[in-house]
C-alpha cells in the first residue's frame, strides 16, 4: 500500500513539471527577449548604424604620356613604392634624337643671330660713313657758294671796268667763264648733298631691316627653345616614376608592350591616408553632427576595434551623383528613402596600416547621444 502511494505522488510531480515547464521556458524567453530588446532600443536611441560603408583612400593612376615600346618594368604586382621611384621605361631613342635635332636647330639659329647682329653693326657703320659724306658735301657746297658769290661780284666789277674801258674784253670773258664754272660746281655740290641724303635714307632702311632681322631670329630662337623644352619633356616622359608613395595594384604592362599616350599602366593606392564613407539614410541624420565618435568594424577583421569621428556630411544625396539622376517630374514618382554620404575620419590610422584596404566593407556606428 505504501509503495502504491509513493508511485502516485511521483506521478503527480511529473505531471506538474510537464504542466509548468513550457510556461517557465516561455517566461524565460520573454524575459531574455525583453532584455535584449530593451538594450537594442536604448542602443538605437544613442547610435545611428549602417553597413552601407566602405574604406576609401587616395589613389593615383600611372599613365603613359608618350607612345613607344616598354623596355623596362621595375616593379611587381602589389609592391610598395616610394614617391619618385622609377617604375617603367619607354624606349627613349626617338625622343633623344628629336631633342638632339632641336638643340642643333637652336645652335644654328644662334649663329644666324650673331650674323644678323653683325649686319646691324655694318649697317650702323655704313650709316655713319654716309652721314660723314653728307656733312662733307654740305661743307663743300658752302665753300662753293662763297666762291660762286665772289665770282659774281668780280663779274659785276669787271663789267663796270669794261664800260669804263679799263678792262679788256678777254678779261671780262674770263670773269664770265669763272662765274659759270663756279655756278656749275655749286650745282654739282648740291647734287652731292641730295645723293648723300638719299644714301642716308637707304642706310637707315638698311639699319631697320637688319634690326628687324635680329628680332625675327630672336623670335625664332624662342620657338626653338620651346621645341627643346618640349623634347626634354618627352624624353622625361619616357621614364615613368611613382607620383605618390603607396602600393601598386595589378600591372597592365610588360616589357615589349607598345603603349599609347593616356594608357593606364597601373594604379598606386596611398597607404598612409584612409577614411570611411558611410551612406546613412536621410532619416538618420537628425541628430548627426560633426565630431561625433564612431565605432568602425571591418568585415575582414571583425575583432579589430577601430575608432573614428564624423568629419563631414555631403551636401547632396548619393542619387544626385548618379549617371542618370531620377527625375521626379516624370509622373512616375515613388518615394524612396535617400542615402547621404558621410565622411568618417579614422583615428590613429597608422595603427591599422597593415589591415586597412581601400574598398573594404565596414559597419559604422555613430554615437549621436551621450
User: Residues 224-270: pLDDT tens digits?
Assistant: 999 999 999 999 999 999 998 888 888 889 999 999 999 999 999 88
- Name the strands in the sheet holding 68-73, side by side, starting at the edge strand that comes first in the sequence: 239-241, 86-90, 68-73, 258-259
Residue 186's pLDDT is: 81
**What pLDDT sits at residue 154?**
78
> How many CA atoms within 13 Å lie on the side-chain side of 21?
6
- Specify the pLDDT at position 10: 60
Where in the chain is CATH 2.40.30.170?
Answer: 47-83+248-325+333-367
| Residue 95, pLDDT score | 92
Which CATH number is associated with domain 47-83+248-325+333-367? Answer: 2.40.30.170
**pLDDT at position 329:** 61
Phi then psi dihedrals of residue 310, to 5 deg: -70, 125
Sign, CA dihedral 165-166-170-176, equals negative
CA distance 367 to 289: 10
Residue 358 dihedral angles phi and psi, to the nearest 5°: -65, 130
pLDDT of 202:
83
CATH 3.40.50.300 fits 93-237, yes or no: no
Burial class (CB in 10 A: 0-12, 13-18, 19+), 40: exposed
How far, in Å, CA of 308 to CA of 296, rounded? 7
Task: Classify the phi-psi angles of 256: left when phi > 0, otherwise alpha if psi is within -120 to 50, otherwise beta.
Answer: left
* pLDDT at site 42: 61
DSSP 328: G
| pTM of the full structure | 0.62
Which residues of the chain are modeled with pLDDT < 50?
1, 4
Strands (E), the chain: 47-63, 68-73, 80-81, 86-90, 239-241, 246-248, 258-259, 264-281, 293-298, 306-313, 339-346, 361-367
Answer left, alpha or beta for residue 69, where phi above 0 means left and psi between -120 and 50 means alpha. Answer: beta
Closest CA to 93 of 226, 260, 234, 224: 234
CA angle 299, 304, 306 (to 5 degrees): 100
- The answer to whether 141 touches 186, Cβ cutoff 8 Å, is yes
Start and end residues for every CATH 1.10.287.620 domain found in the chain: 93-237
Amino acid at each position: 500500500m505504501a509503495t502504491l502511494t509513493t508511485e502516485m505522488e511521483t506521478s503527480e510531480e511529473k505531471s506538474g513539471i510537464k504542466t509548468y515547464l513550457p510556461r517557465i521556458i516561455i517566461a524565460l524567453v520573454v524575459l531574455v527577449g525583453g532584455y535584449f530588446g530593451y538594450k537594442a532600443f536604448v542602443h538605437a536611441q544613442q547610435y545611428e548604424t549602417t553597413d552601407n560603408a566602405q574604406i576609401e583612400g587616395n589613389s593615383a593612376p600611372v599613365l603613359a604620356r608618350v607612345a613607344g615600346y616598354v623596355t623596362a618594368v621595375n616593379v611587381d604586382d602589389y609592391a610598395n613604392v616610394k614617391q619618385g621611384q622609377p617604375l617603367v621605361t619607354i624606349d627613349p631613342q626617338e625622343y633623344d634624337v628629336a631633342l638632339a635635332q632641336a638643340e642643333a636647330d637652336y645652335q644654328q639659329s644662334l649663329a644666324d643671330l650673331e650674323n644678323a647682329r653683325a649686319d646691324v653693326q655694318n649697317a650702323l657703320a655704313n650709316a655713319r660713313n654716309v652721314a660723314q659724306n653728307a656733312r662733307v658735301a654740305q661743307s663743300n657746297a658752302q665753300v662753293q657758294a662763297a666762291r660762286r658769290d665772289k665770282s659774281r661780284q668780280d663779274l659785276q666789277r669787271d663789267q663796270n671796268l669794261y664800260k669804263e674801258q679799263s678792262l679788256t674784253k678777254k678779261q671780262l670773258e674770263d670773269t664770265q667763264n669763272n662765274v659759270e664754272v663756279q655756278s656749275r660746281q655749286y650745282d654739282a655740290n648740291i647734287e652731292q648733298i641730295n645723293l648723300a641724303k638719299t644714301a642716308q635714307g637707304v642706310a637707315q632702311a638698311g639699319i631697320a631691316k637688319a634690326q628687324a632681322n635680329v628680332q625675327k631670329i630672336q623670335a625664332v630662337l624662342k620657338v626653338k627653345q620651346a621645341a627643346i623644352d618640349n623634347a626634354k619633356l618627352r624624353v622625361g616622359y619616357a621614364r615613368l616614376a611613382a607620383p605618390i608613395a603607396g602600393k601598386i595594384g595589378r600591372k597592365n604592362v610588360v616589357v615589349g608592350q607598345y603603349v599609347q599616350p593616356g594608357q593606364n599602366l597601373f594604379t598606386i593606392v596611398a597607404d598612409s591616408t584612409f577614411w570611411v564613407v558611410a551612406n546613412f539614410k536621410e532619416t538618420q541624420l537628425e541628430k548627426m553632427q560633426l565630431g561625433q565618435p564612431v565605432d568602425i568594424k571591418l568585415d575582414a577583421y571583425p575583432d579589430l576595434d577601430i575608432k573614428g569621428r564624423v568629419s563631414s556630411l555631403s551636401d547632396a544625396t548619393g542619387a544626385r551623383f548618379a549617371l542618370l539622376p531620377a527625375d521626379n517630374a516624370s509622373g512616375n514618382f515613388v518615394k524612396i528613402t535617400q542615402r547621404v554620404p558621410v565622411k568618417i575620419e579614422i583615428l590613429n590610422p597608422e595603427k591599422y596600416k597593415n589591415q586597412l584596404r581601400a574598398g573594404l566593407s565596414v559597419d559604422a556606428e555613430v554615437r549621436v547621444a551621450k
